[in-house]
Structure 1
Amino acid sequence: MIDGTVEEIADMQTHSSSVVAVKAAEALLALTEREYPTVEEYVRTLERNSHALRRANPSHASLQTTQREIVSTVEDAEDDSVAAAKERTRDVVEDVVARVESAKERAAERAVEYLREDPAILTHDYSSTVLEAIERTVDDGASLDVYCTEARPRYLGRKMVRTLADLDGVDAHLIVDGAAGHFLPEVDQVVVGMDCIVKDTLYNRVGTYPLAATADDAGVPVRVVGAEAKMVTGGFAFENEHRQASEVIREPADGFAVENPAYDATPTRLLDAAVTDETVHEY
Protein backbone atom coordinates (compact mmCIF):
# COMPACT_ATOMS: atom_id res chain seq x y z
CA MET A 1 0.00 0.00 0.00
CA ILE A 2 2.84 2.40 0.80
CA ASP A 3 4.51 1.93 -2.59
CA GLY A 4 1.21 2.35 -4.40
CA THR A 5 0.43 5.57 -2.53
CA VAL A 6 3.92 6.93 -3.18
CA GLU A 7 3.51 6.27 -6.90
CA GLU A 8 0.01 7.76 -6.92
CA ILE A 9 1.20 10.97 -5.26
CA ALA A 10 4.31 11.25 -7.46
CA ASP A 11 2.24 10.77 -10.64
CA MET A 12 -0.27 13.39 -9.43
CA GLN A 13 -3.07 10.86 -9.63
CA THR A 14 -3.86 12.27 -6.20
CA HIS A 15 -3.23 16.00 -6.39
CA SER A 16 -5.44 18.06 -4.09
CA SER A 17 -3.11 18.75 -1.17
CA SER A 18 -5.61 17.89 1.56
CA VAL A 19 -6.46 14.60 -0.15
CA VAL A 20 -2.74 13.85 -0.52
CA ALA A 21 -2.18 14.43 3.20
CA VAL A 22 -5.07 12.16 4.17
CA LYS A 23 -4.10 9.33 1.81
CA ALA A 24 -0.47 9.45 2.90
CA ALA A 25 -1.43 9.37 6.58
CA GLU A 26 -3.78 6.43 6.08
CA ALA A 27 -1.14 4.59 4.03
CA LEU A 28 1.03 4.38 7.14
CA LEU A 29 -1.65 2.25 8.82
CA ALA A 30 -0.57 -0.66 6.63
CA LEU A 31 2.60 -0.83 8.74
CA THR A 32 0.59 -1.58 11.87
CA GLU A 33 -0.54 -4.87 10.32
CA ARG A 34 2.99 -6.28 10.10
CA GLU A 35 5.19 -7.93 12.72
CA TYR A 36 8.35 -6.32 14.14
CA PRO A 37 10.91 -7.71 16.60
CA THR A 38 11.36 -4.44 18.52
CA VAL A 39 9.85 -0.99 18.95
CA GLU A 40 13.02 0.48 17.44
CA GLU A 41 12.60 -1.55 14.25
CA TYR A 42 8.96 -0.50 13.99
CA VAL A 43 9.83 3.19 14.41
CA ARG A 44 12.62 2.91 11.82
CA THR A 45 10.21 1.34 9.36
CA LEU A 46 7.65 4.05 10.05
CA GLU A 47 10.21 6.81 9.44
CA ARG A 48 11.54 5.16 6.26
CA ASN A 49 8.08 4.84 4.74
CA SER A 50 7.08 8.33 5.85
CA HIS A 51 10.21 9.71 4.20
CA ALA A 52 9.25 7.99 0.93
CA LEU A 53 5.79 9.54 1.11
CA ARG A 54 7.21 13.00 1.83
CA ARG A 55 9.66 12.75 -1.08
CA ALA A 56 6.82 11.83 -3.44
CA ASN A 57 5.78 15.50 -3.34
CA PRO A 58 8.11 17.81 -1.37
CA SER A 59 6.01 20.87 -2.23
CA HIS A 60 2.88 19.93 -0.28
CA ALA A 61 3.17 21.63 3.09
CA SER A 62 0.27 19.66 4.54
CA LEU A 63 1.84 16.37 3.46
CA GLN A 64 5.17 17.32 5.03
CA THR A 65 3.76 18.59 8.33
CA THR A 66 1.27 15.77 8.90
CA GLN A 67 3.82 13.07 8.14
CA ARG A 68 6.38 14.63 10.47
CA GLU A 69 3.75 14.93 13.20
CA ILE A 70 2.85 11.25 12.94
CA VAL A 71 6.45 10.06 13.09
CA SER A 72 7.55 12.44 15.85
CA THR A 73 4.53 11.54 17.99
CA VAL A 74 5.42 7.86 17.85
CA GLU A 75 9.16 8.45 18.26
CA ASP A 76 8.83 10.81 21.22
CA ALA A 77 6.44 8.50 23.09
CA GLU A 78 9.12 5.82 23.50
CA ASP A 79 6.50 3.10 24.00
CA ASP A 80 7.68 -0.06 25.72
CA SER A 81 6.00 -2.46 23.28
CA VAL A 82 5.40 -2.75 19.55
CA ALA A 83 1.68 -3.11 20.20
CA ALA A 84 1.61 0.20 22.08
CA ALA A 85 3.56 1.95 19.30
CA LYS A 86 1.16 0.61 16.71
CA GLU A 87 -1.84 1.79 18.73
CA ARG A 88 -0.27 5.23 19.10
CA THR A 89 0.23 5.34 15.32
CA ARG A 90 -3.43 4.50 14.71
CA ASP A 91 -4.51 7.20 17.16
CA VAL A 92 -2.35 9.98 15.70
CA VAL A 93 -3.30 9.07 12.12
CA GLU A 94 -6.98 9.22 13.07
CA ASP A 95 -6.43 12.61 14.70
CA VAL A 96 -4.47 14.01 11.74
CA VAL A 97 -7.05 12.85 9.20
CA ALA A 98 -9.90 14.29 11.24
CA ARG A 99 -8.16 17.68 11.53
CA VAL A 100 -7.32 17.86 7.81
CA GLU A 101 -10.86 16.98 6.76
CA SER A 102 -12.44 19.27 9.35
CA ALA A 103 -10.24 22.19 8.29
CA LYS A 104 -11.21 21.69 4.65
CA GLU A 105 -14.90 21.62 5.55
CA ARG A 106 -14.69 24.79 7.67
CA ALA A 107 -12.68 26.67 5.03
CA ALA A 108 -15.23 25.67 2.38
CA GLU A 109 -18.11 26.80 4.57
CA ARG A 110 -16.42 30.17 5.21
CA ALA A 111 -15.99 30.64 1.45
CA VAL A 112 -19.70 30.16 0.73
CA GLU A 113 -20.62 33.80 1.47
CA TYR A 114 -18.08 35.00 -1.11
CA LEU A 115 -19.43 32.63 -3.74
CA ARG A 116 -23.02 33.68 -3.07
CA GLU A 117 -22.12 37.38 -3.38
CA ASP A 118 -20.04 36.98 -6.55
CA PRO A 119 -21.52 33.96 -8.36
CA ALA A 120 -19.56 34.16 -11.64
CA ILE A 121 -16.27 32.41 -10.89
CA LEU A 122 -13.06 31.48 -12.67
CA THR A 123 -11.06 28.68 -11.08
CA HIS A 124 -7.78 26.98 -11.94
CA ASP A 125 -6.71 23.34 -11.62
CA TYR A 126 -8.51 20.97 -9.22
CA SER A 127 -9.04 21.89 -5.58
CA SER A 128 -11.17 19.65 -3.38
CA THR A 129 -11.70 22.59 -1.00
CA VAL A 130 -12.93 24.91 -3.77
CA LEU A 131 -15.11 22.08 -5.06
CA GLU A 132 -16.65 21.58 -1.63
CA ALA A 133 -17.28 25.32 -1.29
CA ILE A 134 -19.11 25.31 -4.64
CA GLU A 135 -21.13 22.24 -3.65
CA ARG A 136 -22.17 23.84 -0.36
CA THR A 137 -23.14 27.06 -2.14
CA VAL A 138 -25.44 25.41 -4.66
CA ASP A 139 -26.85 23.14 -1.95
CA ASP A 140 -27.96 26.37 -0.25
CA GLY A 141 -29.95 27.24 -3.37
CA ALA A 142 -27.54 29.56 -5.20
CA SER A 143 -26.71 29.32 -8.89
CA LEU A 144 -23.11 29.66 -10.04
CA ASP A 145 -21.44 30.28 -13.37
CA VAL A 146 -18.02 28.62 -13.20
CA TYR A 147 -15.19 28.84 -15.73
CA CYS A 148 -12.46 26.22 -15.31
CA THR A 149 -9.05 26.30 -16.93
CA GLU A 150 -7.69 23.04 -18.31
CA ALA A 151 -4.61 23.45 -16.07
CA ARG A 152 -1.88 22.39 -18.46
CA PRO A 153 0.01 20.19 -18.80
CA ARG A 154 -1.70 17.56 -16.64
CA TYR A 155 -5.22 18.85 -17.48
CA LEU A 156 -6.48 18.45 -13.92
CA GLY A 157 -8.93 21.29 -14.56
CA ARG A 158 -10.81 18.94 -16.86
CA LYS A 159 -11.52 16.72 -13.87
CA MET A 160 -12.81 19.75 -11.99
CA VAL A 161 -15.19 20.83 -14.75
CA ARG A 162 -16.53 17.31 -15.25
CA THR A 163 -17.35 17.13 -11.55
CA LEU A 164 -18.98 20.57 -11.59
CA ALA A 165 -21.05 19.68 -14.65
CA ASP A 166 -22.87 17.06 -12.56
CA LEU A 167 -23.97 19.62 -9.96
CA ASP A 168 -27.42 21.18 -10.15
CA GLY A 169 -27.07 24.94 -9.99
CA VAL A 170 -23.67 25.12 -11.71
CA ASP A 171 -23.25 26.29 -15.30
CA ALA A 172 -19.76 24.95 -16.05
CA HIS A 173 -17.39 26.12 -18.80
CA LEU A 174 -14.00 24.66 -19.77
CA ILE A 175 -11.43 27.10 -21.16
CA VAL A 176 -7.78 26.77 -22.16
CA ASP A 177 -5.32 28.39 -19.76
CA GLY A 178 -4.32 31.09 -22.24
CA ALA A 179 -7.94 32.23 -22.61
CA ALA A 180 -8.30 33.28 -18.97
CA GLY A 181 -7.68 36.93 -19.80
CA HIS A 182 -10.39 36.81 -22.45
CA PHE A 183 -12.98 35.53 -19.99
CA LEU A 184 -12.03 37.55 -16.90
CA PRO A 185 -14.44 40.38 -17.85
CA GLU A 186 -17.23 37.78 -17.65
CA VAL A 187 -16.55 36.81 -14.02
CA ASP A 188 -16.91 38.37 -10.58
CA GLN A 189 -13.91 36.72 -8.96
CA VAL A 190 -11.11 34.19 -9.30
CA VAL A 191 -11.19 31.42 -6.69
CA VAL A 192 -8.38 28.88 -6.38
CA GLY A 193 -7.04 26.46 -3.81
CA MET A 194 -3.58 26.66 -2.33
CA ASP A 195 -0.73 24.28 -1.75
CA CYS A 196 0.69 26.71 0.78
CA ILE A 197 1.35 30.36 1.53
CA VAL A 198 4.85 30.96 2.85
CA LYS A 199 5.19 34.49 4.23
CA ASP A 200 4.21 36.72 1.28
CA THR A 201 4.10 34.07 -1.46
CA LEU A 202 1.35 31.73 -2.60
CA TYR A 203 2.60 28.45 -4.06
CA ASN A 204 0.02 26.75 -6.21
CA ARG A 205 -0.46 24.89 -9.48
CA VAL A 206 1.62 26.40 -12.31
CA GLY A 207 -0.46 29.00 -14.13
CA THR A 208 -1.80 30.59 -10.95
CA TYR A 209 0.68 33.50 -11.09
CA PRO A 210 -0.20 34.73 -14.62
CA LEU A 211 -3.88 34.26 -13.82
CA ALA A 212 -3.62 36.34 -10.64
CA ALA A 213 -1.53 39.02 -12.37
CA THR A 214 -4.03 39.31 -15.23
CA ALA A 215 -6.95 39.41 -12.81
CA ASP A 216 -5.23 42.19 -10.86
CA ASP A 217 -4.82 44.21 -14.05
CA ALA A 218 -8.48 43.57 -14.95
CA GLY A 219 -9.71 44.58 -11.49
CA VAL A 220 -11.11 41.11 -10.70
CA PRO A 221 -10.60 39.98 -7.08
CA VAL A 222 -8.58 36.83 -6.45
CA ARG A 223 -9.35 34.68 -3.42
CA VAL A 224 -7.69 31.46 -2.31
CA VAL A 225 -9.34 28.86 -0.09
CA GLY A 226 -7.58 26.36 2.13
CA ALA A 227 -6.65 25.25 5.62
CA GLU A 228 -4.98 27.65 8.03
CA ALA A 229 -2.27 25.02 8.45
CA LYS A 230 -1.13 25.86 4.91
CA MET A 231 -0.24 29.39 6.04
CA VAL A 232 3.41 28.76 6.82
CA THR A 233 5.54 31.23 8.78
CA GLY A 234 8.66 29.12 9.22
CA GLY A 235 10.16 25.63 9.28
CA PHE A 236 9.22 24.81 5.68
CA ALA A 237 11.10 25.59 2.49
CA PHE A 238 9.00 25.18 -0.62
CA GLU A 239 10.59 22.83 -3.14
CA ASN A 240 9.18 22.96 -6.66
CA GLU A 241 8.80 19.82 -8.72
CA HIS A 242 9.97 19.63 -12.32
CA ARG A 243 8.00 16.97 -14.08
CA GLN A 244 8.58 14.81 -17.14
CA ALA A 245 8.77 16.37 -20.61
CA SER A 246 6.32 13.74 -21.89
CA GLU A 247 3.52 15.56 -20.09
CA VAL A 248 4.11 18.51 -22.41
CA ILE A 249 5.20 16.93 -25.70
CA ARG A 250 4.94 13.32 -26.82
CA GLU A 251 7.52 13.30 -29.61
CA PRO A 252 11.27 13.51 -28.83
CA ALA A 253 12.54 16.94 -27.83
CA ASP A 254 15.45 17.12 -30.27
CA GLY A 255 17.63 20.19 -29.89
CA PHE A 256 15.58 21.92 -27.19
CA ALA A 257 14.76 21.59 -23.50
CA VAL A 258 11.25 21.09 -22.16
CA GLU A 259 10.59 22.90 -18.89
CA ASN A 260 7.69 21.54 -16.88
CA PRO A 261 7.45 22.97 -13.33
CA ALA A 262 4.45 21.77 -11.34
CA TYR A 263 3.96 24.97 -9.32
CA ASP A 264 4.58 28.69 -9.49
CA ALA A 265 4.94 31.51 -6.97
CA THR A 266 2.31 34.25 -6.74
CA PRO A 267 2.99 37.34 -4.59
CA THR A 268 0.20 37.74 -2.05
CA ARG A 269 -0.07 41.42 -3.06
CA LEU A 270 -1.99 40.09 -6.10
CA LEU A 271 -4.56 38.42 -3.84
CA ASP A 272 -7.60 39.96 -2.22
CA ALA A 273 -7.99 37.34 0.47
CA ALA A 274 -7.05 33.89 1.72
CA VAL A 275 -10.10 32.19 3.22
CA THR A 276 -9.18 29.52 5.77
CA ASP A 277 -10.93 27.42 8.38
CA GLU A 278 -9.91 29.90 11.08
CA THR A 279 -10.16 33.35 9.51
CA VAL A 280 -9.98 35.50 6.39
CA HIS A 281 -6.58 37.02 5.62
CA GLU A 282 -7.02 40.16 3.57
CA TYR A 283 -4.22 41.57 1.40
Structure 2
Amino acid sequence: MIDETVEEIAEMQTHSSSVVAIKAARALLALGDREFPTVEEYERALERNSDALRRANPSHATLQTTQRELVSRVTESDAETVPAAQAVTEDVVAEVVDRVESAKRRAGERAAAFLEDGDTVFTYDYSSTVLEALTAAAEAGVSLSVRCAEARPRYLGRKMARTLSEFDGFDVTLVVDGAAGIFLDDCDRVMVGMDCIVEDTLYNRVGTYPVAATAADVGVPFVVVGAESKIVGGGFAFENEQRSVSEVIREPADGFAVENPAYDATPMRLVDTVVTDDAVHEY
Protein backbone atom coordinates (compact mmCIF):
# COMPACT_ATOMS: atom_id res chain seq x y z
CA MET A 1 0.00 0.00 0.00
CA ILE A 2 2.82 2.41 0.83
CA ASP A 3 4.61 1.85 -2.48
CA GLU A 4 1.35 2.35 -4.37
CA THR A 5 0.67 5.59 -2.49
CA VAL A 6 4.19 6.86 -3.24
CA GLU A 7 3.63 6.18 -6.93
CA GLU A 8 0.19 7.80 -6.87
CA ILE A 9 1.56 10.95 -5.25
CA ALA A 10 4.54 11.12 -7.61
CA GLU A 11 2.29 10.71 -10.66
CA MET A 12 -0.16 13.31 -9.29
CA GLN A 13 -3.06 10.89 -9.59
CA THR A 14 -4.36 12.69 -6.50
CA HIS A 15 -4.49 16.44 -7.14
CA SER A 16 -5.49 18.05 -3.84
CA SER A 17 -2.59 18.61 -1.44
CA SER A 18 -4.83 17.97 1.58
CA VAL A 19 -6.04 14.69 0.11
CA VAL A 20 -2.41 13.75 -0.62
CA ALA A 21 -1.48 14.38 3.02
CA ILE A 22 -4.39 12.26 4.25
CA LYS A 23 -3.60 9.35 1.92
CA ALA A 24 0.07 9.45 2.87
CA ALA A 25 -0.75 9.42 6.58
CA ARG A 26 -3.12 6.49 6.20
CA ALA A 27 -0.61 4.61 4.08
CA LEU A 28 1.70 4.32 7.09
CA LEU A 29 -0.95 2.25 8.85
CA ALA A 30 0.13 -0.63 6.60
CA LEU A 31 3.14 -1.02 8.90
CA GLY A 32 0.71 -2.13 11.60
CA ASP A 33 0.14 -5.36 9.66
CA ARG A 34 3.81 -6.28 9.64
CA GLU A 35 5.94 -7.92 12.31
CA PHE A 36 9.10 -6.27 13.65
CA PRO A 37 11.59 -7.78 16.11
CA THR A 38 12.09 -4.53 18.03
CA VAL A 39 10.60 -1.07 18.47
CA GLU A 40 13.75 0.36 16.91
CA GLU A 41 13.21 -1.70 13.74
CA TYR A 42 9.62 -0.50 13.55
CA GLU A 43 10.65 3.13 13.98
CA ARG A 44 13.31 2.79 11.28
CA ALA A 45 10.72 1.34 8.92
CA LEU A 46 8.35 4.18 9.77
CA GLU A 47 11.04 6.79 9.08
CA ARG A 48 12.12 5.10 5.83
CA ASN A 49 8.59 4.85 4.45
CA SER A 50 7.66 8.35 5.58
CA ASP A 51 10.76 9.68 3.84
CA ALA A 52 9.69 7.92 0.63
CA LEU A 53 6.25 9.49 0.87
CA ARG A 54 7.73 12.96 1.41
CA ARG A 55 10.16 12.57 -1.49
CA ALA A 56 7.26 11.67 -3.78
CA ASN A 57 6.25 15.36 -3.78
CA PRO A 58 8.60 17.75 -1.94
CA SER A 59 6.42 20.74 -2.86
CA HIS A 60 3.37 19.77 -0.77
CA ALA A 61 3.79 21.64 2.50
CA THR A 62 0.98 19.74 4.23
CA LEU A 63 2.46 16.40 3.19
CA GLN A 64 5.88 17.41 4.51
CA THR A 65 4.67 18.78 7.85
CA THR A 66 2.22 15.97 8.64
CA GLN A 67 4.72 13.23 7.83
CA ARG A 68 7.39 14.82 9.98
CA GLU A 69 4.89 15.21 12.80
CA LEU A 70 3.83 11.56 12.56
CA VAL A 71 7.37 10.24 12.76
CA SER A 72 8.48 12.56 15.55
CA ARG A 73 5.44 11.88 17.73
CA VAL A 74 5.79 8.11 17.38
CA THR A 75 9.52 8.08 18.03
CA GLU A 76 9.17 10.47 20.97
CA SER A 77 6.40 8.38 22.57
CA ASP A 78 9.00 5.98 24.00
CA ALA A 79 6.80 2.99 23.29
CA GLU A 80 8.19 -0.11 24.98
CA THR A 81 6.74 -2.69 22.58
CA VAL A 82 6.09 -2.87 18.86
CA PRO A 83 2.29 -3.17 19.33
CA ALA A 84 2.41 -0.08 21.54
CA ALA A 85 4.32 1.87 18.85
CA GLN A 86 1.86 0.72 16.22
CA ALA A 87 -1.04 1.83 18.44
CA VAL A 88 0.55 5.27 18.86
CA THR A 89 0.89 5.46 15.07
CA GLU A 90 -2.80 4.69 14.63
CA ASP A 91 -3.77 7.38 17.13
CA VAL A 92 -1.53 10.04 15.59
CA VAL A 93 -2.70 9.21 12.05
CA ALA A 94 -6.34 9.52 13.14
CA GLU A 95 -5.61 12.88 14.78
CA VAL A 96 -3.72 14.22 11.75
CA VAL A 97 -6.39 13.09 9.29
CA ASP A 98 -9.14 14.66 11.38
CA ARG A 99 -7.22 17.92 11.65
CA VAL A 100 -6.56 18.15 7.90
CA GLU A 101 -10.15 17.29 7.01
CA SER A 102 -11.65 19.70 9.53
CA ALA A 103 -9.30 22.50 8.44
CA LYS A 104 -10.42 22.07 4.85
CA ARG A 105 -14.06 22.07 5.89
CA ARG A 106 -13.72 25.16 8.09
CA ALA A 107 -11.78 27.07 5.44
CA GLY A 108 -14.45 26.22 2.87
CA GLU A 109 -17.26 27.32 5.17
CA ARG A 110 -15.48 30.61 5.89
CA ALA A 111 -14.86 31.21 2.18
CA ALA A 112 -18.51 30.51 1.35
CA ALA A 113 -19.39 33.76 3.13
CA PHE A 114 -17.70 35.62 0.26
CA LEU A 115 -20.15 34.15 -2.25
CA GLU A 116 -23.41 35.99 -2.78
CA ASP A 117 -26.50 34.92 -4.67
CA GLY A 118 -26.08 35.70 -8.37
CA ASP A 119 -22.29 36.02 -8.27
CA THR A 120 -20.08 34.88 -11.11
CA VAL A 121 -16.97 33.06 -9.87
CA PHE A 122 -13.87 32.08 -11.82
CA THR A 123 -12.02 28.95 -10.66
CA TYR A 124 -8.73 27.45 -11.75
CA ASP A 125 -7.55 23.87 -11.30
CA TYR A 126 -9.32 21.42 -8.97
CA SER A 127 -9.10 22.46 -5.33
CA SER A 128 -10.98 20.33 -2.83
CA THR A 129 -11.06 23.30 -0.44
CA VAL A 130 -12.59 25.60 -3.07
CA LEU A 131 -15.06 22.80 -3.73
CA GLU A 132 -15.91 22.82 -0.01
CA ALA A 133 -16.67 26.55 -0.26
CA LEU A 134 -18.85 26.15 -3.33
CA THR A 135 -20.61 23.15 -1.77
CA ALA A 136 -21.37 25.16 1.37
CA ALA A 137 -22.75 27.98 -0.79
CA ALA A 138 -24.94 25.57 -2.74
CA GLU A 139 -26.27 24.01 0.46
CA ALA A 140 -27.17 27.51 1.67
CA GLY A 141 -29.26 28.02 -1.46
CA VAL A 142 -26.84 30.41 -3.19
CA SER A 143 -27.09 30.45 -6.97
CA LEU A 144 -23.83 31.01 -8.84
CA SER A 145 -22.41 31.20 -12.32
CA VAL A 146 -19.03 29.48 -12.32
CA ARG A 147 -16.38 29.73 -15.00
CA CYS A 148 -13.95 26.82 -14.67
CA ALA A 149 -10.64 27.15 -16.49
CA GLU A 150 -9.34 23.87 -17.91
CA ALA A 151 -5.95 24.00 -16.13
CA ARG A 152 -3.92 22.42 -18.87
CA PRO A 153 -2.10 20.18 -19.53
CA ARG A 154 -3.82 17.84 -17.05
CA TYR A 155 -7.22 19.48 -17.53
CA LEU A 156 -8.07 19.36 -13.85
CA GLY A 157 -10.63 22.11 -14.35
CA ARG A 158 -12.76 19.63 -16.24
CA LYS A 159 -13.18 17.63 -13.03
CA MET A 160 -14.28 20.78 -11.21
CA ALA A 161 -16.77 21.64 -13.95
CA ARG A 162 -18.25 18.14 -13.97
CA THR A 163 -18.63 18.15 -10.20
CA LEU A 164 -20.22 21.61 -10.02
CA SER A 165 -22.58 20.88 -12.90
CA GLU A 166 -24.52 18.60 -10.54
CA PHE A 167 -25.22 21.44 -8.09
CA ASP A 168 -28.68 22.95 -8.12
CA GLY A 169 -28.64 26.64 -8.95
CA PHE A 170 -25.18 26.57 -10.54
CA ASP A 171 -24.60 27.66 -14.13
CA VAL A 172 -21.23 26.14 -15.02
CA THR A 173 -19.04 26.89 -18.04
CA LEU A 174 -15.71 25.28 -18.88
CA VAL A 175 -13.33 27.75 -20.57
CA VAL A 176 -9.89 27.30 -22.10
CA ASP A 177 -7.07 28.79 -20.06
CA GLY A 178 -6.11 31.33 -22.69
CA ALA A 179 -9.59 32.87 -22.58
CA ALA A 180 -9.29 34.04 -18.97
CA GLY A 181 -8.89 37.62 -20.14
CA ILE A 182 -12.19 37.41 -21.99
CA PHE A 183 -14.26 36.05 -19.13
CA LEU A 184 -12.68 37.54 -16.02
CA ASP A 185 -14.00 41.02 -16.66
CA ASP A 186 -17.54 39.70 -16.09
CA CYS A 187 -16.66 37.85 -12.88
CA ASP A 188 -17.16 39.02 -9.30
CA ARG A 189 -14.12 37.19 -7.97
CA VAL A 190 -11.55 34.49 -8.61
CA MET A 191 -11.35 31.65 -6.08
CA VAL A 192 -8.42 29.22 -6.10
CA GLY A 193 -6.77 26.83 -3.69
CA MET A 194 -3.13 26.81 -2.68
CA ASP A 195 -0.29 24.39 -2.42
CA CYS A 196 1.38 26.71 0.05
CA ILE A 197 2.28 30.32 0.77
CA VAL A 198 5.91 30.95 1.64
CA GLU A 199 6.56 34.50 2.79
CA ASP A 200 5.47 36.75 -0.13
CA THR A 201 4.80 34.00 -2.70
CA LEU A 202 1.80 31.80 -3.45
CA TYR A 203 2.73 28.43 -4.93
CA ASN A 204 -0.06 26.68 -6.78
CA ARG A 205 -0.79 24.73 -9.95
CA VAL A 206 0.99 26.18 -12.97
CA GLY A 207 -1.23 28.75 -14.66
CA THR A 208 -2.33 30.41 -11.42
CA TYR A 209 0.05 33.35 -11.89
CA PRO A 210 -1.36 34.52 -15.26
CA VAL A 211 -4.92 34.23 -13.90
CA ALA A 212 -3.95 36.35 -10.88
CA ALA A 213 -2.20 38.91 -13.07
CA THR A 214 -5.19 39.17 -15.40
CA ALA A 215 -7.60 39.47 -12.48
CA ALA A 216 -5.51 42.30 -11.04
CA ASP A 217 -5.48 44.06 -14.39
CA VAL A 218 -9.27 44.00 -14.74
CA GLY A 219 -9.90 44.70 -11.06
CA VAL A 220 -11.44 41.37 -10.03
CA PRO A 221 -10.70 40.25 -6.44
CA PHE A 222 -8.40 37.23 -6.24
CA VAL A 223 -9.26 34.97 -3.29
CA VAL A 224 -7.11 32.05 -2.11
CA VAL A 225 -8.61 29.33 0.10
CA GLY A 226 -6.71 26.77 2.14
CA ALA A 227 -5.61 25.55 5.54
CA GLU A 228 -3.69 27.92 7.80
CA SER A 229 -0.98 25.25 8.02
CA LYS A 230 -0.18 25.89 4.35
CA ILE A 231 1.09 29.35 5.22
CA VAL A 232 4.64 28.46 6.13
CA GLY A 233 7.75 30.34 7.19
CA GLY A 234 10.96 30.87 5.33
CA GLY A 235 12.40 27.57 6.56
CA PHE A 236 10.38 25.65 3.96
CA ALA A 237 12.07 25.39 0.57
CA PHE A 238 9.51 24.91 -2.19
CA GLU A 239 10.67 22.53 -4.90
CA ASN A 240 9.03 22.69 -8.31
CA GLU A 241 9.05 19.71 -10.60
CA GLN A 242 8.98 19.05 -14.31
CA ARG A 243 6.11 16.86 -15.42
CA SER A 244 6.23 14.37 -18.27
CA VAL A 245 6.53 15.69 -21.83
CA SER A 246 3.74 13.26 -22.80
CA GLU A 247 1.25 15.42 -20.90
CA VAL A 248 1.90 18.21 -23.40
CA ILE A 249 2.61 16.47 -26.68
CA ARG A 250 2.06 12.89 -27.77
CA GLU A 251 4.32 12.77 -30.83
CA PRO A 252 8.13 12.97 -30.49
CA ALA A 253 9.47 16.46 -29.77
CA ASP A 254 12.09 16.40 -32.51
CA GLY A 255 14.27 19.49 -32.70
CA PHE A 256 12.74 21.36 -29.76
CA ALA A 257 12.44 21.15 -25.99
CA VAL A 258 9.25 20.89 -23.95
CA GLU A 259 8.87 22.50 -20.53
CA ASN A 260 6.05 21.27 -18.30
CA PRO A 261 6.44 22.63 -14.74
CA ALA A 262 3.87 21.48 -12.20
CA TYR A 263 3.58 24.75 -10.27
CA ASP A 264 4.17 28.47 -10.60
CA ALA A 265 4.90 31.29 -8.16
CA THR A 266 2.37 34.11 -7.79
CA PRO A 267 3.49 37.26 -5.96
CA MET A 268 1.24 37.95 -3.00
CA ARG A 269 0.80 41.54 -4.22
CA LEU A 270 -1.64 40.06 -6.76
CA VAL A 271 -3.69 38.34 -4.03
CA ASP A 272 -6.51 40.24 -2.32
CA THR A 273 -7.63 37.77 0.33
CA VAL A 274 -6.47 34.48 1.82
CA VAL A 275 -9.22 32.55 3.64
CA THR A 276 -8.13 29.79 6.00
CA ASP A 277 -9.70 27.68 8.72
CA ASP A 278 -8.32 30.13 11.30
CA ALA A 279 -8.62 33.59 9.78
CA VAL A 280 -9.22 35.88 6.84
CA HIS A 281 -5.99 37.57 5.72
CA GLU A 282 -6.34 40.72 3.65
CA TYR A 283 -3.49 41.87 1.41
TM normalised by structure 1 equals 0.98
CA distance in 2, matches of 1:240, 1:152: 17
In structure 2, the partner of 1:152 is 152
* Number of equivalent positions: 283
CA distance in 1, matches of 2:197, 2:5: 25
Q: Residue by residue, what CA displacement relative to the aligned partner does 1:34-70 show, whole Å, maximum 9, x if unpaired? A: 1101111111111111111111111100000000100
Deviates more, 1:72-81 or 1:87-96: 72-81
Structure 2 SS opposite 1:237 = coil
* RMSD of Structure 2 on Structure 1 (CA): 0.9
**Which residue identity is paired with 1:26?**
R
Per the TM alignment, residue 118 of structure 1 is displaced from its structure 2 partner at its CA by: 7.2
Matches within 5 A, 1:115-154: 115-116=115-116, 119-154=119-154
In structure 1, the partner of 2:195 is 195
CA distance in 2, matches of 1:19, 1:211: 24
Per the TM alignment, residue 234 of structure 1 is displaced from its structure 2 partner at its CA by: 3.3
CA distance in 1, matches of 2:268, 2:99: 26
CA distance in 1, matches of 2:37, 2:276: 44
Distance 1:165 1:232, change over 3 A: same
1:269 correspondence with 2:258: no
Structure 2 SS opposite 1:147 = strand
Matches within 5 A, 1:13-162: 13-116=13-116, 119-162=119-162
Distance 1:228 1:117, change over 3 A: farther
CA distance in 2, matches of 1:83, 1:114: 48
Per the TM alignment, residue 117 of structure 1 is displaced from its structure 2 partner at its CA by: 6.5
Structure 1 ranges of 4+ moved more than 3 A? none
Structure 1 SS opposite 2:122 = strand
Preserved CA contact (<8 Å) 1:118 1:188: no
Preserved CA contact (<8 Å) 2:221 2:272: yes
**Which residue identity is paired with 1:191?**
M
In structure 1, the partner of 2:176 is 176
CA distance in 1, matches of 2:229, 2:216: 26
CA distance in 1, matches of 2:161, 2:99: 27
Structure 2 SS opposite 1:254 = coil
TM normalised by structure 2 equals 0.98
Instruction: Tell me the percent identity.
Output: 70
Which ranges in structure 2 are unaligned for 5 or more consecutive residues? none
CA distance in 1, matches of 2:117, 2:137: 10
CA distance in 2, matches of 1:145, 1:48: 47
**Which residue identity is paired with 1:133?**
A
Preserved CA contact (<8 Å) 1:105 1:129: yes
